[in-house]
Amino acid sequence: MQAQPTKSNKNNLMFADSLLNAERAVMALTAQGILVSNINLCQPGKPTIQVEYTPALARFINDKIAVYYAFGHKQYGKYKQAQYPLHGCRVVWIEYTH
């Protein structure tokens, strides 16, 4: 008889799955020439991968794969934040306009 997974075991499994998904996403982003700047695993079911903005990311917006979800103004000027799903992860970036 196999023991039922405990809550901590379930969390461990979620983190392990998240790491595998993040690895797949990073490999896909690397193949596309997109630079990863940060990976956040605070939500184990859906890692957030931050990438450096390049104009090539506009195609994800144009193809309706990514969406803008936040707008604002910081010391660098106006900005837009975008996101799209990839291999169970959330890929995000910030675009600054002057």
- Asked, for residue 22, whether it belongs to a domain, the answer is yes
How many structural domains is the chain composed of? 1
Q: Give a yes or no: residue 62 inside a domain.
A: yes
Q: What is the mean pLDDT of residues 3-18?
A: 78
Range of 20's domain? 7-97
Cα separations in angstroms, 90 against 12, 32, 45, 73:
20, 16, 10, 23
Q: What are 60-71's pLDDT values in tens digits?
A: 999 999 999 999
For 29-51, what is the mean pLDDT? 93
Question: β-strand 89-97 against 48-51: which pairing, if any?
Answer: parallel
Classify residue 2: in a domain, yes or no.
Answer: no
